[in-house]
Amino acid sequence: MRYVIVGASAAGLAAAEAVCSVDPAAEITLLTDEPHPPYCRPLISYVLAGEAPETLYSLPLPSDGRIRIRTGERAVGLDPVEQTVRLASGESLAYDRLLLATGAASKPLGIPGEDAPNVFGFRTRADAEAIDREVAGGARRAAVLGGGLVGVKAAHALARRGLEVTLCIGSGAPLSQVVNPEAGRRVAEALETEGIRVRTGLRPAEIVREDGRATAVGFEGGEALPCDLVVRGKGVEPRGELLGTAGVDARQGIPVDEGLRTPLPNVWAAGDAIRAYDVAWGEPRLNAIWPAAVEQGAAAGRSMAGCDEAYPGSLARNSVKIGPWHLVSAGITRPPEGPFEVREAEDPKGGYRRVVLRDGRLVGFVAWGPDGSAPPSRAGIVIAAIRRGATLAELPFDPLFDRIGWGGFAFPLAPPPFPSIHGR
């Protein structure tokens, strides 16, 4: 059986491993448009900050030769009738089973001047290496546009490198799409303590250039912020254009069924590009996070290889560490109007908790607090409870008032080795 996997990050690699475990005769071709072999994307901020060596990037693969990786190969067309993938080089690859693990791309700013050579996304290893060259070349002032996880991690990494960093946010607080305003306010205070200037209510209007390079960011209202480099940190958007070449609208994410099959025969999809069932919301949503991509890739790989199983659904969860402070969140953290109940608690040391219930069942969780010796498994227990739709009474501890711990639910908060795609 010929398997072609477009994308060699979390979902693609997890799928390849799963196929190998089920189909001993599998012939697998992994395509990536990046020049690097597979690497651990969550580590780019740690490597840029100088907190982890580049050697930690590498991800191992099965050594039996069944997986062939082709780097620098961009898939540009899909023919579902002939079952071929067309590459930018003009070559066509035939497949029996195809997985689209095309991931997501940094959102463009949509303003004049953003094509300057010192304006960067912060999504790939190449992005981090290009920013590192700017820093090594003497850049001292960085403007990070956008207060999502991408922007916060980029700002933190650049501050660790000694740059004067301004985090420019259109909303009222960092991480406004991830956590509620109170948790966002605490994140802003922690960033300021780390030497990062946080500006809210700023919307970029243009990148000011001299001799082709960005020298300032101009904002609505006329304010200008001088800088030596700019990072786009406004989040990501799904890369569904390959499916679009076969006539399927995937601009808002690739549609999949419970088996992660696309509307095309013998074509599956997994990872940041798909709209999969979300267990907290009860509907298909984008969850562009590493652990969800791994889960989906493994499920899609087994399905491609003939296992009849349904993907149980994804769950948004995020983590970030700023100095001694940790933030973890999962599920629905900013509920809309409807049958939701929100409970919050604070402690004298500055910690903050929030749980969100729907019809009495846990659907969301936010915790913010300092380093401690709490058991690291408890955050994972809360995540599992959200997946099961448990009530608070079913938990063995009170997530509002008991110690939680900060690991064990997404990927490690510190940059340890990643001996496999699954982080085990």
Question: Domain spanning 324-394: which CATH class is it, in words?
Answer: alpha beta
How far is the C-alpha of 77 from the C-alpha of 169, rounded, in Å?
37
| 193-207, 334-348, 351-365, 379-393: which is most confident | 193-207
Predicted confidence at residue 352, as pLDDT, reads 86
Predicted confidence at residue 404, as pLDDT, reads 55
How far is the C-alpha of 102 from the C-alpha of 371, rounded, in Å?
36
Helix axes 181-193, 149-160, angle to 10 degrees: 10
Mean pLDDT of 226-249: 95
Mean pLDDT of 110-132: 97
- Span 109-234: which CATH code? 3.50.50.60
Predicted confidence at residue 410, as pLDDT, reads 35
How far is it between the farthest Cα atoms of the chain? 65
Mean pLDDT of 108-132: 96
Instruction: Tell me where in the chain the CATH 3.30.390.30 domain(s) lie.
Output: 324-394
Mean pLDDT of 198-202: 97
What are the Cα distances from residue 287, in Å, to 243, 271, 300, 360? 19, 8, 16, 24
pLDDT, tens digit, 9 for 90 and up, residues 375-399: 334 778 888 999 999 999 898 888 8
Per-residue pLDDT band for 52 (boundaries 50, 70, 90) equals confident
Predicted confidence at residue 100, as pLDDT, reads 99
How far is the C-alpha of 20 from the C-alpha of 174, rounded, in Å?
41
Instruction: Tell me where in the chain the CATH 3.50.50.60 domain(s) lie.
Output: 2-105+237-304, 109-234
Q: Is the pTM of this model over 0.85?
A: yes
- 71: tokens are 């780097």
pLDDT, tens digit, 9 for 90 and up, residues 289-339: 999 999 999 999 999 999 988 999 999 998 888 988 888 899 999 999 989
- Residue indicated by tokens 């938990």: 395
**Over 70: is that where the pLDDT of 369 sits?**
yes
**Measured on CA atoms in the order 299, 301, 302, 307, is the torsion positive or negative?**
positive
Predicted confidence at residue 152, as pLDDT, reads 95
- For the ranges 28-37, 138-147, 363-372, the lowest mean pLDDT is seen at 363-372
How far is the C-alpha of 67 from the C-alpha of 175, rounded, in Å?
38
- For the ranges 67-71, 124-128, 305-309, 399-403, the lowest mean pLDDT is seen at 399-403
Other Cβ atoms less than 10 A from the Cβ of 130: the count is 15
Per-residue pLDDT band for 68 (boundaries 50, 70, 90) equals very high
**Over 60: is that where the pLDDT of 418 sits?**
no
Per-residue pLDDT band for 417 (boundaries 50, 70, 90) equals very low
Q: Which residues of 187-316 form beta strands (DSSP E)?
A: 196-199, 204-210, 213-219, 224-226, 229-232, 236-238, 254-255, 267-269, 274-278, 283-286
Identify the three-state secondary structure at position 112: coil
Mean pLDDT of the chain: 90
- Residue indicated by tokens 């401690």: 372
CATH number, domain 2-105+237-304, options 3.50.50.60, 3.90.190.20, 3.40.50.300, 3.40.50.720: 3.50.50.60
**Over 50: is that where the pLDDT of 253 sits?**
yes
Rg of the chain over all Cα atoms, to the nearest angstrom: 22
Mean pLDDT of 120-146: 97
Q: What percent of the chain has pLDDT over 70?
A: 92
DSSP state of 64: S
Mean pLDDT of 396-409: 62
Please name the helix (run of DSSP H) or strand (run of DSSP E) that holds residue 85, with its range, or none. Answer: strand 84-87
